[in-house]
A and B are shown apart, each in its own frame.
Chain A
Amino acid sequence: MLFNSFEFLWLFPIIFCVYYLITCRKRLIDKFPKIGNYLLIAISYGLYIKYKPEYALVLLGVTAITYLTALKIEKEHAYGKKKYLIFSGIALAVLPLLVFKYYHFLCSSFESLLGEIGLSVGLPGLNWVMPLGISFFTFQAIGYLADVYLQRIKAEYNWWDYMLFVCFFPQIASGPISKAKDLLPQIKSKRSFNYGQAVQGLRWILWGMFLKVVLADRIGISIDSFNGTLDTESGLMNLAVALLYSFQIYGDFAGYSFMALGIGELLGFELINNFKRPYLSQSVTEFWHRWHISLSLWLKDYIYIPLGGSRCSKFCNYGNILITFLVSGLWHGANWTFVAWGGMHGLFQIIEKMLGLNKKEHTGIVKGIRILVTFLVVSFAWIFFRQPTFSGAWSQIERIFTNHDTTLHFTTESIIFMLFALSIVILKDVVDEWKIKQIDGFHSSHKVFRWAVYLFLLTSILLMGVFDASQFIYINF
């Protein structure tokens, strides 16, 4: 279920009402304390089956494999056997991801490699659509397994609690990737309706919807029409498309994440906030502490630290950073352009580490310059994320630097829409970053001002939002 669809608008209130009608009944809860969880499992699987019934088996399979493997690991005392179990468990859990997401990529790369040495091999193709959120729920389940192996947490013995941890519907499609230590205790605890949490949840949904349908989708309509023709557009147009894409992907992904956060809050769960104003970062290192935070934490805990992290020589540390971000790139997409994108981020962070910029924070004009430079560097890298081929990416970069024509092919209408959305988003992020309470409409103590802001956003969503329930970019992962 896409959160920006009409279906969500009528279905979620029903889910909310049914959930609280059941969980607020004291007698029923006393008799069946976990009934709320069973209901959420039924809803989560119901929505997943609605998407594609057979893929619910993939979700169930990954859940079962990691659940059983974790139990076995906990019971096993021999280190060697534990190691065998963790690697087998991860291999089995990641197998569907490899097949659905990377099979075609691996085959075509293998064929290209053989082609380079004059061998021609035609491997059979797979034309299967990816199970929704497979990258997210697989990583979440593997993270749990690793935590049990590393004895950070105890294995979960309650199958139903663990099942909900993996399939929880607000986060399954595009994250956030929750840690077992954060989400499982909430699943196991008794939850009741909390007014403040519910209001905050609605705020997240409203803001997330604005980011998605007004910012991301409006920009998408304006720049997607130039796909395939950017090499005929001016240098300024190519630059504008690159910069606007930075905001499109931010609005798209952060918008979804905030809506997932909001839905979780409405149901009494605190999910991790995946975005903290990433384009106000002073360095690429800081950017990854503010962008897709749950993935950054996952990569740090399960790739970077096990490789040795920073507890090794400098060069080893740089290598660990690069490997971590190459994995990040590969996670984002089955294409060498994504790997290159990840590699670039790794390289930028290595340079920052060498220059000591990763730990240095500035103020004033220098801070402003660093924020701007970081934004431009990240936007440059996004070119490789967006373009399907290296030649397309290089062509765009070349045009930006060599073509001095300043013709822009946006309509007046689209410019106004985009400027409006960008101004609101930048204003909110600046207000939140520097805690400018006087104009913080979302948290103002004056109810009239707060409600005026909410009504303004809702009006903007209806007047300027794009309502064809367009796919979230990150849903492809």
Chain B
Amino acid sequence: MMKKFLIQLSIFLTLFACIDFALGKILQYGEAHAIGGKTERSYYINNKTHEDYLVFGSSRAVGHYVPDVFCNGKTTMYNCGEDETGIICFYPKINFIKQRYTPKVIIYDVYYVDLLDGLRFRNVDFLKTLKTSYGKTESVDSIFWRYEPTSRFKMLSNLYRYNSTSINILIDNIRKTNWYDKGFYLLNTGTMKNAPVVENSHKSYLYDEEKLQMLEKFIVENKDKIQLFFAISPEYGKTNDEMYHPIKQLCKKYNVPLLNHYCDTTFTLHQELFANQNHLNCEGALKYSSIIKNEIQHNNNIDN
């Protein structure tokens, strides 16, 4: 009876392995041929970008950098920001992208929350957009192994790589939705109605040293071939940017321009430029993008 049980179970698991492989291939095809939506955007960022300028960062990057402001006849830009991600996602991502081409400029919008130690438990979540790129390059795989050692086994399943994205892949192959423009989109629309009470008191912050080291590696490995700019976009009501001290130190150490607008009163005193405390609205994003564009141009003129 035990023999019969084990044989039946083995046959069942073998059948399942075949389904896993076949469905995984179908989903892989679907991902590569999506006609819009999150799937198309994510696939484009990981596998097809060829633009001169790339924007990295979290939701603040996604919604603050309008590529059309930067683009002219010569310059092209793609906003590769990902909501709820940070350096753990972008360090392997740039290595993956560099296998195809090397962008001229990277604007990395840094948000201090990404670097805090308290989010350590979510490090694995930050890799979710790279799951389908697993197995293609060691730079991506090694990050998975570091933060989720069991990924060596979990990623053997094709279906697991498409966990939580299968519905999107299906929809994005049927329906063409382009709510983004060269990667840019506003996560929060409208204008902030009630101005929040903003905390500006001095605090001590505990940083995730691993993430700071990864950020430093990001700079060291890319600064010679790519023009790096770190940017800190505005947050409503903020008058204190001490939480960005590690970023300032890193930028100073490696002579990387830091475009710090966190407490810029051009924005921070103007509720009408924000959708909520952390995110600019459309008007704010356009204004901010112009300022950043001018600063980059000015920096390049000085260098030249």
Seen from chain A, the residues whose Cβ lies within 8 Å of a Cβ on chain B are 6, 10, 20, 24, 193-195, 198-199, 202, 412-413, 416-417, 451, 454-455, 458-459, 462-468
Q: How far, in angstroms, from A465 to B168 measured CA to CA in the complex?
A: 15
15 new A-B contacts, CB < 8 A, other than A413-B171, A458-B16, A467-B160, are A6-B154, A193-B1, A193-B2, A194-B1, A416-B171, A451-B15, A454-B12, A455-B19, A459-B159, A462-B20, A462-B157, A463-B163, A463-B164, A464-B163, A464-B166
15 pairs from A and B in contact (CB 8 Å cutoff): A6-B153, A10-B153, A20-B2, A193-B1, A193-B5, A195-B4, A195-B5, A199-B5, A416-B167, A416-B171, A417-B167, A459-B19, A462-B20, A466-B164, A468-B124
Q: Nearest Cβ distance between residue B208 and chain A, in whole angstroms?
A: 18
What's the minimum C-beta distance from B34 to chain A, rounded to whole angstroms?
14
Question: Quick check: is B23 within 8 A (CB to CB) of the other chain?
Answer: yes
List the B side residues contacting A463 at CB < 8 Å. Answer: 159, 162-164, 166
- B150, CB-defined interface residue at 8 Å: yes
The answer for the CA separation of A468 and B166 in the assembled complex, in Å, is: 18
State how many angstroms separate the Cβ of A104 from the closest Cβ of chain B.
24
Chain B residues with Cβ below 8 Å from A202 are 9
Query: Is B23 a contact of A459 with CB atoms below 8 Å?
Result: yes
Distance of A445 from chain B, by nearest CB (Å): 16
CB B102 to nearest CB in A, in angstroms, measures 34
Complex CA gap A198/B166 in Å reads 32
Q: Which residue of B lies closest to A198 (CB)?
A: B5
With a CB–CB cut-off of 8 A, which chain B residues contact A6?
A: 150, 153-154
Q: In the complex, A199 Cα to B124 Cα: how many Å? A: 35
The CA-CA distance from A202 to B16 in the complex, in Å, is 15
Q: How far is the CA of A467 from the CA of B162 in the complex (A)?
A: 12
Nearest chain A CB to B98's CB is how many angstroms away?
30
The answer to whether A467 and B19 touch across the interface, beta carbons within 8 angstroms, is no
B residues contacting A by CB (< 8 A) are 1-2, 4-5, 8-9, 12, 15-16, 19-20, 23, 124-125, 150, 153-154, 157, 159-160, 162-164, 166-168, 171
Nearest CB of chain B from residue A468's CB, rounded to whole Å: 7
Query: Taking CB as reference atom, which chain B residue is nearest A465?
Result: B163
Query: B-side binding surface: helix, strand, loop or mixed?
Result: helix
Chain B residues near A417: list those with CB within 8 A: 167
Complex Cα distance A465/B159, Å? 11
- Chain B residues closer than 8 Å to A10, beta-carbon distance: 153
Which A residue's beta carbon lies closest to that of B160? A462
Rounded to whole Å, the gap between the CB of B33 and the closest CB of chain A is 19
Q: Which residue of A lies closest to B157 (CB)?
A: A462
Among A194, A462, A466, A467, find the residue whose CB has the most chain B CB atoms closer than 10 A: A462
**Structural contact, A413 and B168, CB atoms closer than 8 A:** yes
What residue of chain B has the Cβ atom nearest to residue A218's Cβ? B164
Are B12 and A451 in contact (CB-based, < 8 A)?
yes
Q: How far is the CA of A412 from the CA of B168 in the complex (A)?
A: 9
A475 to chain B, nearest CB (A): 17
Q: From residue B219, how far is it (CB to closest CB) to chain A in Å?
A: 31
The complex places the Cα of A6 from the Cα of B8 at a distance, in Å, of 23
Given A6-B150, A24-B2, A451-B15: A412 in contact with B171 (beta carbons within 8 A): yes
Docked complex Cα distance between A455 and B13 (Å)? 9
Residues of chain A within 8 A of B154, CB atoms compared: 6, 467
Residue of A nearest to B2 (CB): A193
In the complex formed, the residue of A with least CB distance to B8 is A199
Minimal Cβ-Cβ distance residue in B for A5: B150
Which of A194, A199, A413, A455 contacts B16, CB < 8 Å?
A: A455
Tell me the bound Cα distance from A307 to B187 in angstroms. 58
CA distance A116 to B17 in the complex (A): 65
A306 to B171, CA, bound (A): 59
> CA of A417 to CA of B19 in the docked complex: distance in angstroms?
21
Q: Which residue of A lies closest to B11 (CB)?
A: A451
A455 pairs with B15, CB closer than 8 A: yes
Using known A-B contacts A413-B167, A413-B168, A462-B157, determine if residue A195 contacts B1 with beta carbons closer than 8 Å. yes
The residue on B at minimum CB distance from A462 is B159
Residue among A20, A195, A454 with max Cβ neighbours from chain B (10 Å): A195
- In the assembled complex, the Cα of A6 lies from the Cα of B150 at a distance in Å of 8
- A416 neighbours in B (Cβ, 8 Å): 167, 171
> What are the residues of chain A within 8 A of B163 when measuring CB–CB?
462-465, 467
B-chain residues with CB within 8 Å of residue A454 when the two chains form the complex: 12
B179 to A: closest C-beta gap in Å: 12
Point out the residues of chain B lying under 8 angstroms from A413, CB to CB: 167-168, 171
Best-buried of B4, B150, B153, B164 by chain A (most CB within 10 Å): B164
CB distance from B2 to the nearest CB of A (A): 5
Nearest-neighbour CB distance to chain B for A454, whole angstroms, equals 7
User: A198, A199, A463, A466: which has the most chain B beta carbons within 10 Å?
Assistant: A463
Q: Tell me the nearest residue of chain B to A463, going by C-beta.
A: B166
Question: Could you tell me the distance between the alpha carbons of A416 and B164 in the complex, rounded to whole angstroms?
Answer: 11
Interchain CA distance A6-B124 in the complex, whole Å: 14
Docked complex Cα distance between A229 and B163 (Å): 28
Minimum C-beta distance from B111 to chain A (A): 19
Q: Return chain B residues, CB-CB under 8 Å to A459.
A: 16, 19-20, 23, 159
> Considering only CB atoms, which chain A residue lies closest to B121 in the complex?
A468
- Docked CA distance A92–B4 (Å): 49
Contacts of B159 in A (CB 8 A): 459, 462-463
CB-CB < 8 A to B153: which residues of A?
6, 10
Which residues does chain B contribute within 8 Å of A412, judged by CB atoms? 171
Closest to A24 in B: B2
Shortest distance between the CB of B276 and any CB in chain A (Å): 12
> Closest CB of chain A to B6's CB: distance in Å?
10
**A20 to B3, alpha carbons, bound, how many Å?**
12
Quick one: closest A residue to B9, CB to CB?
A202
Instruction: Chain B residues near A199: list those with CB within 8 A.
Output: 5, 8
B171 proximity list for chain A (CB < 8 A): 412-413, 416
